[in-house]
Amino acid sequence: MDKIKNILMVGVGGQGIITASDILSEAALLDGHDVKKSEIHGMSQRGGSVFAHIRYGKKVYSPTIKTGEADVLLSLELIETVRWLSYANEKTKVILSETKIQPQTVKEYPESVIDSLKKKFKDFYLVNPIEINKQNGSHKVLNTTLLGVLSNLLEISDKSWEKAMENLVPKGTYESNLSAFSLGKKLFS
Amino acid sequence: MGIIKLETKDKKRKVTNNRMTNKNLLSGNEAIARGAYEAGVKVGVGYPGTPSTEILENFTKYEDVVTEWSVNEKVAMEVGLGSALAGKRTLVTMKHVGLNVAADPLFTASYIGANAGMVVVVADDPDLHSSQNEQDSRHYARAAKVPMLEPSDSQEAKEFVRYACELSEGFDTPIFLRSVTRISHSKTVVAFEPKLNYEHDKGFEKENIKKHVMIPAFARQRHFVVEDRMKALEEFSNRIEINRIEKGKGEIAFVTAGLCYNYVKEVFPEADIFKIGMVYPLPMRNLLEFCKGYEKVYVVEELDPFIEDQLKARGANNIVGKEILPVTGEYSPELIYTAITGNKFKGMEVGIKPFARPPMLCPGCPHAQTFNAMNKLGLTVSGDIGCYTLGTLPPYSAMHACVDMGASIPFAQGIELAQGSEFKHDVVAVIGDSTFAHSGITGLINAAYNKRRILVIVLDNSTTAMTGMQPNPFNGSTITGEETVVIDYQKLAEAIGIKKDNFRTVTAYKEEIISETIQELLAKKELCLMVVTGPCLIYKRKKEKNNG
């Protein structure tokens, strides 16, 4: 594979973007790719907008994705999807977990975000987190299910995904994460 | 001397070669810690500050090393110098603004030199992700006459630490390693090497006062040594592998360093590139020679025109840099591409304007009450660095100045001085516990000594919260979690000369009591110290989790 894969994960501080992006990066690495990942974190980001760029392929230079060049945009929050759209093009595949996080200072949450997005993208995967949490029996592994959805769009081996999870999820949660991942894999396959 | 030895070593060093036999994804900060470990660095000191914090946090996990969170960067630099002169390879870490604090010892450390390697890592923050300014630390290398290396990814970050140790020893100088946020916090592939069992043959030499005691007579002589060293280093800079030319198709040419190298490679993969690994002193002879070969050469660097200006000053008249590239903010591949070609990258939009998510005090932060109280009382609040800067913005709107660490207390004294007999006694200095230990105490001593009449409030949340819960001299543990002394505010106040009745401790949870105490102390029209205690929520949760 000569073409670099660009995945942008976005959400709000505290939603678990960093761990989810670590798992993807590790899986890509285990599959033999060169990987670069860039994120902005730090305490000033608590409750703020958080993102992680993951790029993998034969040889990756920039740790950041260029404007309009994300292959996949995985978003954990509605309005964050909109905020980072400049990295997408009409071929970008969008995975969106339908969560709204409204800061204290904001009076009104913008309407019709999903409809506007649906019109723009051919590949649009909408995930209902309440449903998923019900099926997983826990809200703690939602992001793993999203990674499962994502795995359908990338050519990373199951073995590498599994090993990456084994390496990175908290002790004693591997089994629950594994089944959450399979759920996501089945959802849109 | 050392230079010869280094040259042979350097020929064996292939920085760019593919050595993907063992692959690990490491952030730049983790890689620097790993590099220090592999290089046999024994001592790690620093003060936390984003984006540099995780270097020492990771280094302290390795076996056979000793580490400390120093109370501030000046102290870290001085401890580090002592350690290097005593014969142990030493790592000193800080963020860019921390280097301002450490600048005093830095300039003289340059004269004194180092026995074992002394590597000072400074992490700049282009785009101010979490800083009060955007300064370019490379100017310090030039001003203090200390060499500086700049890696372009985690692999180089790791390798450059070891190389820096060798250069530091070979040239008898402290040496800088410059990072930026997007190196420190990006993860890239790193190959591990075994730890070097390094032993320096020299310990601290008591008799060497001409090198270690910088009275004018000795320092005057050392300045010549420093100037000679810089000349030798510049010559050396022309011969090392980390300053290299990558030949492309010859259609477009760049001079670049650090992270920007990867950005240039991303958008101009076939360009001719002079990649600089040692950003000070520059390999000037080779650079000028390189530049001669082209009609135009683009210099790409974050933040200031550091390389560009030096090239221009040495007569390169075909340089294009800051005329088309910004001196502010982070660069990106498309920014460079657009500046040079005029072509823009296009992204999607849906016509919805996303609302902002400004950083805020965490919901339930114990110190929100104090900010609310100060707001309601209509006080003039001189603030400080840390989570508490978030008290500036709505809904608190209760901070009116913030300059640097420790500035709150002297800044308030400045207001008092300026107002003189008109002083309204409505000025409050607000500072966090870690910042108070870092550089607030000296300001408080100044206030007592000069009979100032301000109220100083320490918001003590039991940790250095903003940078991720590092311990400090007010919470009773060290970097490794070992129990230690806790500074007693009351005794400190008494020792400084603050009247017993002018000192109060209150809990952070009762706004009414906070408000009453502030008013009571302000009415005294004398120097007062008030400590508001309420542990950081996240710290508390973390601690409870660890205990049970």
Radius of gyration of the CA atoms of chain B, in A: 25
Nearest CA in chain A to B389: A44
**Tokens encoding B547:** 């205990």
Q: Strand B175-180's sheet: what is its strand order?
A: B66-69, B43-46, B90-95, B118-124, B175-180, B148-149, B278-280
Q: Which residues of B touch A44 (CB under 8 A)?
A: 50, 129-130, 359, 466
B334 touches chain A (CB under 8 A): yes
Q: What is the pTM of this model?
A: 0.95
Is A29 within 8 Å of B346 when comparing Cβ atoms? no
B254 contacts B271 by C-beta, under 8 angstroms: yes
Strands A5-12 and A49-57: antiparallel
CA-wise closest residue to B120 among B186, B188, B41: B41
CA-wise closest residue to B254 among B189, B187, B299, B317: B299
Q: How far apart are CA B454 and CA B138, in angstroms?
A: 38
B266 touches chain A (CB under 8 A): yes
Per-residue pLDDT at B416: 98
Question: DSSP assignment, residue B457?
Answer: E
Read off φ and ψ for residue B341, nearest 5 degrees: -100, -20
Indicate which of A36, A44, A45 best probes the interface with B, i.e. most B CBs within 10 Å of its own CB: A44
Taking phi over 0 as left and psi of -120 to 50 as alpha, with beta for the rest, A14 belongs to: left
Question: DSSP assignment, residue A121?
Answer: -
Q: How far apart are CA B352 and CA B58, in angstroms?
A: 42
A154 contacts A72 by C-beta, under 8 angstroms: yes
Is A66 within 8 Å of B50 when comparing Cβ atoms? no
A33 contacts A99 by C-beta, under 8 angstroms: no
CA-wise closest residue to A25 among A188, A168, A136: A168
Radius of gyration of the CA atoms of chain A, in A: 16
CB atoms within 10 A of CB A131: 11
Q: Residues with Cβ < 8 Å from A137, sequence gap 6 or more?
A: none
**Tokens encoding A153:** 């769009």
- Could you give the 3-state DSSP secondary structure of residue B300? strand
Q: How far apart are CA B198 and CA B340, in angstroms?
A: 47
Is B129 within 8 Å of A42 when comparing Cβ atoms? yes
CB atoms within 10 A of CB B220: 11
B539 contacts B461 by C-beta, under 8 angstroms: yes
- Could you give the 3-state DSSP secondary structure of residue A10? strand
**Tokens encoding B390:** 């978030």
Taking phi over 0 as left and psi of -120 to 50 as alpha, with beta for the rest, B78 belongs to: alpha
How crowded is the C-beta side of B267, counted as CA atoms within 13 Å? Answer: 27
Nearest CA in chain A to B187: A37
CA-wise closest residue to B316 among B336, B287, B273, B339: B287
How crowded is the C-beta side of B9, counted as CA atoms within 13 Å? Answer: 13
Strands B186-190 and B24-27: antiparallel
Paired residues of A12 in beta bridges: A49
Q: How many residues are present in chain A?
A: 189
B63 touches chain A (CB under 8 A): no
H helical segments located in B39-131: 54-59, 73-85, 96-112
Give pLDDT tens digits along chain B (548 positions).
Answer: 333 344 333 333 333 333 444 999 999 999 999 999 999 999 999 999 999 999 999 999 999 999 999 999 999 999 999 999 999 999 999 999 999 999 999 999 999 999 999 999 999 999 998 899 999 999 999 999 999 999 999 999 999 999 999 999 999 999 999 999 999 999 999 999 999 999 998 899 999 999 999 999 999 999 999 999 999 999 999 999 999 999 999 999 999 999 999 999 999 999 999 999 999 999 999 999 999 999 999 999 999 999 999 999 999 999 999 999 999 999 999 999 999 999 999 999 999 999 988 878 888 899 999 999 999 999 999 999 998 898 998 889 999 999 999 999 999 999 999 999 999 999 999 999 999 999 999 999 999 999 999 999 999 999 999 898 999 999 999 999 999 999 999 999 999 999 999 999 999 999 999 999 999 999 999 999 999 999 999 888 888 877 75
- Could you give the 3-state DSSP secondary structure of residue B135? coil
Q: How far apart are CA A74 and CA B275, in angstroms?
A: 35
Is B348 within 8 Å of A68 when comparing Cβ atoms? yes
H helical segments located in B350-397: 368-377
